[in-house]
Structure 1
């Protein structure tokens, strides 16, 4: 462990850092100086100018990773986007899924995120945009949930991220796409039949298009 002085000196000597922007509530070093003035004084001695970054006080304040995670885990992608400055996105490779949606007129791209550390938002149906390999940002609805989609039981299976892109017939298997979550439409549900699922998806489509318009 390094003291604040040792850390700043290491940045200056080893990496050529001569200016450090310090967040309003950031602290470092095992001695953890309490005030900005202390960091600035230490920095001056070792050749690093310490500049304070004030707390953000805009409409989305407060902003922190924990606040953003809370918004995403409680189904508030709009608030997460305000804090981030852009919609929260999930990027991954399209893989073969159960193909249930295709049989009832709602083909989906099954997204394999790969990185297990990526935060997966609250299960449910979202209005979203999907950025396809051609670079176009297309309207879609996305279901984040547990397979099987249609079940008589409440048991949970493997998490899935399935995007139905409106008015799109392109081939996406093994391609990388990005899903931007815009609005939470409803919680995850179980259906006793594919017909009931199809009827709900019709309603979800209209809700998603309205949210994205």
Structure 2
């Protein structure tokens, strides 16, 4: 299992202080993939740029796709650029893969329009994700905290790997930015509706 898969499962199982939106989850999943790619040495962070290593087979379909999606010609992209590019529609892609694998069942979350609400099935993958979550694994906890999931206890702790710190910070900033844009649009739409409702 990968950090992104574990994060998706945690997001289906653990209540947060606000609903998890598909866009924010997609950004966090892209960040989780990048952390795993860094750990596998499929990419390195040089300054602000993601420099790809040799292509690797990582024994996970989605992580292999992420590795293939790395920009392999200069100018390379930043971690922030990666999150927005790779993150587009990523929550739906993970839903489809995990659903096809039988990892999802029962009541389902409202992230995906016209689909039932999502919950993780009782599988080895779910137990592994739960073990990482209950063990307060710092990367998983920090990514979940960016989505408003859990208490945040353990978030940001025990990090000695500067590239991982950079990626997690980029996820937090991107999620905050997307949330702010959504809230601004909601306010603007409400104001527009009020104009038309005025006598």
Fold-level similarity (TM above 0.5): no
Higher RCO, Cα 8 Å, sep 6+ = 2
Higher strand share: 1
More helix by share: 2
